[in-house]
């Protein structure tokens, strides 16, 4: 099969597209990936199938919905799937256009599937995102070098890390406020290594306690190996997000045998062991319309996150950590890209 994968120009969906391509190639398929739809290139390539790895975000995704429709009308033998994610319900008049109802969606979580079904979109399957064991092994080798530097720069410190974009739902301001609420005597025991967008680095992180948060990279600029290695040398991966369609950092941390700290909410609870990881509660859902999506922001008191960080400090150097990490890994062990994306590709065969 000749397969085209069109993906959003984002870190997470670019990673997903590359993983799908890797699995497809291992199955013997001819694969072409692109971050921008190229109608002429696709017609020349003459694919048998197209996978659209795009967010179901109406302003961003409408043109791809249009391209999907054009392919359906002009290349009738080409099978298509939209492997989609959303952090809330598609919103607005544009979300009701008939073109959206001609698309076969594969949701990346039950949460995404439910949000798409709310507006009557056709969801044909739910396939979670996966992790690549080979990438993990490569990162672990690189981490041997990185660990020496971390131990030299931060001796005897518990290491927290966070790699997130700048969107309001990512919870950076919540994290900073939580760090300010951690007792002074505990702040001496840990550091937070952050990979953040320039806007977060300049506007939000300066409000964190002094000498607690260290920026180690700009979001979107690090190679996969470096991000995964950062997770591996960490004791805990922080995910303060209030809304997600899936939650790759949690999967990646757990697949590397590391614990994550996150809200006990869908879709995280669909695949992660909420008892092994360190989770905290949310209070209310604040519906915010932005970018063609009615985001369901799970609002929480930053004190909950501060308490979770405090609990993590207690657990980090105890025998309990290893037991929790093993259970967290077992929950996601089978979620490899081969196991999951083989099923996705079979929809087109």
> And the tokens for 305?
């996150």
Is residue 279 a contact partner of residue 239, using CB atoms and an 8 Å limit? no
Q: CA-CA-CA-CA torsion for 51, 56, 61, 62, nearest 10 degrees?
A: 110
**Could you tell me which residues come within 8 angstroms of residue 48 by beta carbon, excluding any fewer than 6 positions away?**
1, 2, 3, 77, 78, 79, 348
Reference 201, options 221, 187, 219, 188; nearest CA is 219
C-alpha to C-alpha distance for 58 and 290, rounded to whole angstroms: 10
Question: 70: burial class by Cβ within 10 Å (0-12, 13-18, 19+)?
Answer: middle
Residue by residue, DSSP assigns 22-69 as HHHHHTT-EEEEESS--HHHHHHH--SEEEEE-B--HHHHHHHHHHHH
Query: CA angle, corner 103, sides to 287 and 3, nearest 5?
Result: 120
Q: Coil, helix or strand for 263?
A: strand
Using alpha carbons, list the distances in angstroms from residue 285 to 110, 118, 251, 294. 18, 17, 24, 11
This prediction has a pTM of 0.95
Backbone angles phi, psi at 9, to 5 degrees: -85, 65
Is residue 292 a contact partner of residue 57, using CB atoms and an 8 Å limit? yes
Q: Characterize the bridge pairing of strands 88-90 and 293-299.
A: antiparallel
The 10 Å Cβ neighbour count of residue 221 is 11
pLDDT of the chain along its 349 residues, tens only?
A: 999 999 988 888 889 999 999 999 999 999 999 988 888 888 889 999 999 999 998 888 888 999 999 999 999 899 999 999 999 899 888 899 999 999 999 999 999 999 999 999 999 999 999 999 999 999 999 999 898 999 999 999 999 999 999 999 999 999 999 999 999 999 999 999 999 999 999 999 999 999 999 999 999 888 899 999 999 999 999 999 999 999 999 999 999 999 999 999 999 999 999 999 999 999 999 988 876 778 889 999 999 999 999 999 999 988 899 999 999 999 999 999 999 999 999 999 8
Q: Coil, helix or strand for 306?
A: helix
Is residue 221 a contact partner of residue 201, using CB atoms and an 8 Å limit? no
CB hemisphere CA count around 42 (13 angstroms)? 24
Q: Which residue stretches of the chain are H helix?
A: 11-26, 39-45, 58-74, 110-118, 133-153, 172-181, 184-187, 198-203, 224-233, 248-255, 268-271, 302-316, 319-332, 337-346
> And the tokens for 295?
């985001």
C-alpha to C-alpha distance for 164 and 239, rounded to whole angstroms: 8
Domains of the chain are 2-127 (3.40.50), 133-334 (3.40.50.2000)
Q: What is the pLDDT, as a whole number, of residue 220?
A: 82
Q: Is the dihedral of CA 270, 272, 277, 278 positive or negative?
A: negative
């Amino acid at each position: 099969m000749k397969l085209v994968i069109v993906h959003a120009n984002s870190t997470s969906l670019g990673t997903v597209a590359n993983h799908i391509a890797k699995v497809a190639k291992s199955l013997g398929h001819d694969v072409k990936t692109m971050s921008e739809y190229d109608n002429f290139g696709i017609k020349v390539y003459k694919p048998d199938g197209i996978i659209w790895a795009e967010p179901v975000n109406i302003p961003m995704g409408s043109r791809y919905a249009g391209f999907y429709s054009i392919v359906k009308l002009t290349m009738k033998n080409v099978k298509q799937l939209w492997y989609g994610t959303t952090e809330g319900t598609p919103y607005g008049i544009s979300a009701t256009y008939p073109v959206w109802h001609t698309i076969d969606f594969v949701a990346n979580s039950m949460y995404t599937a439910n949000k798409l079904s709310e507006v009557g979109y056709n969801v044909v399957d739910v396939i979670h995102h996966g992790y690549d064991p080979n990438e993990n092994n490569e990162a672990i080798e690189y981490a041997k070098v990185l660990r020496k530097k971390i131990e030299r720069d931060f001796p005897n410190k518990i290491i927290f890390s966070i790699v997130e974009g700048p969107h309001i739902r990512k919870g950076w301001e919540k994290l900073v406020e939580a760090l300010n609420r951690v007792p002074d005597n505990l702040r001496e025991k840990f550091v937070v290594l952050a990979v953040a967008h320039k806007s977060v680095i300049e506007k939000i992180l300066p409000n964190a306690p002094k000498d607690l948060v260290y920026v180690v990279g700009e979001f979107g600029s690090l190679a996969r190996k470096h991000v995964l290695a950062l997770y591996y040398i960490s004791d805990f991966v922080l995910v303060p997000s209030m809304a997600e369609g899936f939650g790759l950092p949690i999967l990646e941390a757990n697949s590397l045998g590391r614990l994550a700290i996150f809200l006990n909410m869908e879709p995280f609870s669909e695949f992660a062991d909420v008892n092994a990881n360190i989770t905290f509660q949310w209070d209310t859902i604040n519906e915010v319309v932005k970018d063609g999506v009615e985001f369901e922001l799970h609002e929480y008191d930053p004190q909950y996150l501060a308490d979770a960080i405090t609990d993590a400090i207690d657990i980090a150097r105890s025998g309990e950590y290893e037991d929790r990490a093993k259970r967290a890994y077992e929950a996601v062990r089978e979620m490899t890209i081969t196991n999951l994306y083989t099923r996705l590709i079979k929809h087109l065969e």
